[in-house]
Amino acid sequence: MKSLVRKNILKVTPYKAGKPIEETKRELGLKEVIKLASNENPLGTSPKALAAIRKAVTGVNRYPDSQGFYLKRKLAEKLSLSPENIVLGNGSDELIDVIIKTFVENDEEVLTADITFLEYEIISRVNGRSVATVPLKDFRFDLPEMKKKITGKTKLVFIANPNNPTGTYVSKKELVGFLKDLPGHVLVVLDEAYDTFIDVPDFPRGTDFLKNNNVLVMRTFSKAYGLAGLRIGYAVGAPVLTSYMECVRQPFNVNLLAQAAAMAALDDDDFLRKTRKMVLEEKQYLSDALRRLKVSYVPSVANFILVDTAQSGVEVFQAMLKEGVIVRDMQQYGLNRYIRVTIGTRRENEKFVKAFKKVLKK
């Protein structure tokens, strides 16, 4: 009975994930399908992480370490921070939930951009919190406008840097300007899910802003580290913030295999280097191909590109599926002409370009 459901849940539109490969094969009777829809790592997973998972798998009769002791220690060393600065999560998705639950009171508000990672708004609404949004400007977070939108009720500001689905970023200068003289009741969350792919000098690393005590940074192992299926991410901030997040998260939120895999992945510099090189080179390849097709796109510092198809993005998405290529339509974001394409391997990108040419001609 609908009347049993909390009122704010009735208003929530569920998150629509990228279409899985198996489902597409089954539904369309296709043998070969590639997925460029969820910004995953097409090179797979670090061989060191895979070996660690195999080794850890016999221990799954035991609960995982609820404190994530070794992983936090390793991350702390890498980041030149202390383990008390770190909260582990079942992906950044869970951390968004933990952050909202820890910091936003019933009558307080979350502020973000109108076109950004949808989970900020969905999870806020599930928790019964209201959300204010500020339009992007030229596909970028408009921090001066966002600052003007801050009221006595604003508690949390989510900035996806780089932004998903646009691949744009806020510069160091813009972030410094935003943080300067920010009211003391406002906490800023910098979501750096794609930080590993950055190749611009003026990108602000969130970890450089922690001393303000009003900044949290989120990162994930789902993208460059190739561990999306295991669900693991982390947040960093001042212990005066993270210690309360520790009270809110579930005790065994990060599973045993994920902890083992993440530890090993952090040691696999070679895999990370290969991934980064592939993404940067292949982004160039895809951008060149799009330019040749006279298709406009938003220049990206992440591992995906937002492409203007100049027609219905949903129709292009469906036509691409028939060609065995899963991309992401942008209808949920209100970008009806657009699709988002994850950077794949050369073979995948060639398949995308071939299929896209065919679809555009129809």
Ligand X SMILES: Cc1ncc(COP(=O)(O)O)c(C=O)c1O
Shortest distance in whole angstroms from residue 224 CB to ligand X:
11
Q: Which is nearer to ligand X, 24 or 112 (CB)?
A: 112
Q: Which is nearer to ligand X, 304 or 319 (CB)?
A: 304
Q: Which two tokens stand for residue 356?
A: 């896209």
Q: Which is nearer to ligand X, 230 or 321 (CB)?
A: 230
Q: Which two tokens stand for residue 25?
A: 């094969």
Q: Which is nearer to ligand X, 167 or 353 (CB)?
A: 167
Shortest distance in whole angstroms from residue 88 CB to ligand X:
11
Q: Which is nearer to ligand X, 91 or 324 (CB)?
A: 91
Q: Which is nearer to ligand X, 160 or 215 (CB)?
A: 160
Beta bridge partners of 158: 189
- Quick one: three-class SS letters along 176-237? HHHHCCCCCCCEEEEECCCHHHCCCCCCCCHHHHHHHCCEEEEEECCCCCCCHHHCCEEEEC
Shortest distance in whole angstroms from residue 358 CB to ligand X:
28
Shortest distance in whole angstroms from residue 222 CB to ligand X:
3
Count the alpha carbons within 13 Å of 153 in the hemisphere toward its beta carbon.
11
Residue 252: partners with Cβ closer than 8 Å, 6 or more residues away: 63, 64, 66
Shortest distance in whole angstroms from residue 282 CB to ligand X:
18
Shortest distance in whole angstroms from residue 305 CB to ligand X:
14
Backbone φ and ψ for 156, nearest 5 degrees, come out as: -130, 135
Residue, CB closest to ligand X: 91
Please say whether the beta carbons of 146 and 111 come within 8 A.
yes
Residues that bind ligand X (CB under 6 A): 39, 91-93, 117, 160, 164, 191, 193, 220, 222, 228, 233
Q: How do strand 109-113 and strand 154-160 relate by DSSP bridges? A: parallel
Q: Which is nearer to ligand X, 64 or 226 (CB)?
A: 226
Q: Which is nearer to ligand X, 233 or 313 (CB)?
A: 233
Cα 145 to Cα 147: distance, rounded to the nearest angstrom: 5
Q: What is the DSSP string of 127-152?
A: TT-EEEEE--BTTB--HHHHHHT--T
Residue 38: partners with Cβ closer than 8 Å, 6 or more residues away: 17, 18, 228, 328, 342
Q: Which two tokens stand for residue 322?
A: 């028939």
- 21 CB neighbour count, 10 Å cutoff: 16
Shortest distance in whole angstroms from residue 265 CB to ligand X:
13
Shortest distance in whole angstroms from residue 3 CB to ligand X:
32
